[in-house]
């Protein structure tokens, strides 16, 4: 049985990857929207996005919309693959025992 | 190490967040549509209030611009909020909606301006409310709120009924649309 991905398995990072993976490829979500969807605080969300970015699972784009800074987070191909494997492992656990 | 119960909980969490993302995307599109229709309906009612003679031209224009605006919003939206591919059945929904309304108001009955002013918002908001049973409570709240205020206006507001409807229906859709963006 495959191993669970420790980076994705953390509850907030799992939510982030699930949200980003639900979008079409190359589409991202703004920081404010991710905050609303996950219910996380700014600091907590920022730290977990950074962890995912360091692992190469998400890309972070910072731009200005008018005068306001806007951060957009997008799942990378590696992130989508890792998330799919993580979900498959969860399903295997449900089907046949423990990891 | 996790057991199957924890794995099920993790998958349920994933399903939950995916549903919320989809609903948020739907609300994003629906809020733009509601604001667009709100502005048009507000204008249509103000025209009806100020220049009743021109109402006969104003309302078909509102309908055409309204449906055209929906198509434009759909086509101009970023890919992540577009959702499913364009479905010809959506066009059919509008054709059937207007055809059924026309049959009710012009063939089964002969509605006057006041009845028409109440019928179309109630009829439209009925579908809005029904859609909300599947797509989210914001639709239900906005739909039922506007239906209730329309009925209040129909029975208790006199000559100023079109002006009442400009604020209730037009304003209600605009506020509802803005509210959806904050959910």
Q: Which of B14, B24, B80 sits opposite A87 (nearest CB)?
A: B14
Quick one: DSSP state of residue B106? I
% residues pLDDT > 70 (chain B)? 93
The two structure tokens encoding residue B164: 């009442």
CATH of the domain at A34: 1.10.10.10
pLDDT of residue B86: 57
Q: How far is A20 from chain B (nearest CA, A)?
A: 9
pLDDT tens column, B95-116: 898 899 999 999 999 999 899 9
pLDDT tens column, A36-92: 889 899 999 999 999 999 999 999 999 888 788 889 999 999 999 999 999 999 999
Quick one: DSSP state of residue A56? T
Asked whether residue A32 is assigned to any structural domain, the reply reads: yes
For B6, half-sphere exposure in the C-beta direction (CA atoms, 13 angstrom radius) is: 11
- Round to whole Å and give the CA distance between A65 and A62: 10
Which site among B19, B21, B26, B84 would you substitute to test the A interface, given the most A Cβ atoms closer than 10 Å to its Cβ? B21
Give the residue on B whose Cα is nearest the Cα of A10.
B10
Cβ neighbours of B22 in A, within 8 Å: 22
Asked whether residue A88 is assigned to any structural domain, the reply reads: yes
Asked whether residue A90 is assigned to any structural domain, the reply reads: yes
* CB contact at 8 A, A58 and A73: yes
Q: Where in the sequence is the domain holding A36, given as residue range(s)?
A: 6-96
Q: How far is A54 from chain B (nearest CA, A)?
A: 22
Give the residue on A whose Cα is nearest the Cα of B182.
A36
Cβ of A18 within 8 Å of Cβ of B7? The answer is no
What H or E segment, with its residue span, contains residue A30?
A: strand A28-30
- Round to whole Å and give the CA distance between A2 and A5: 9
Asked whether residue A1 is assigned to any structural domain, the reply reads: no
């Amino acid at each position: 049985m495959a191993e669970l991905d420790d980076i994705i398995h953390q509850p907030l990072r799992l939510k982030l990857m699930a949200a980003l993976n639900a979008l079409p490829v190359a589409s991202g979500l703004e920081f404010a929207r991710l905050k609303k969807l996950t219910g996380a605080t700014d600091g907590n969300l920022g730290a977990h996005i950074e962890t995912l970015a360091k692992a190469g699972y998400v890309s972070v784009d910072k731009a200005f919309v008018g005068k306001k800074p806007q951060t957009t987070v997008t799942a990378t191909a590696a992130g989508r693959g890792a998330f799919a494997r993580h979900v498959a492992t969860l399903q295997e656990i449900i089907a046949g025992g423990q990891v | 190490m996790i057991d199957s119960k924890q794995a099920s909980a993790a998958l349920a969490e994933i399903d939950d967040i995916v549903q919320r993302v989809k609903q948020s995307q739907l609300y994003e599109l629906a809020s733009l549509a509601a604001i667009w229709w709100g502005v048009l309906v507000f204008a249509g009612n103000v025209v009806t209030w100020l220049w009743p003679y021109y109402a006969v031209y104003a309302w078909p224009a509102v309908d055409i611009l309204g449906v055209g605006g929906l198509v434009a919003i759909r086509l101009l939206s970023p890919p992540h909020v577009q959702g499913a591919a364009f479905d010809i059945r959506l066009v059919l929904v509008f054709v059937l909606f207007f055809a059924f309304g026309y049959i009710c108001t012009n063939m089964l009955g002969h509605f006057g301006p006041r009845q028409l002013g109440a019928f179309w918002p109630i009829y439209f908001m009925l579908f809005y409310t029904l859609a909300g049973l599947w797509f989210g409570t914001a639709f239900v709240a906005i739909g039922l709120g506007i239906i209730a205020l329309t009925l209040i206006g129909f029975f208790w507001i006199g000559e100023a009924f079109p002006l009442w409807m400009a604020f209730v229906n037009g304003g209600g859709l605009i506020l509802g649309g803005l509210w959806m963006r904050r959910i």
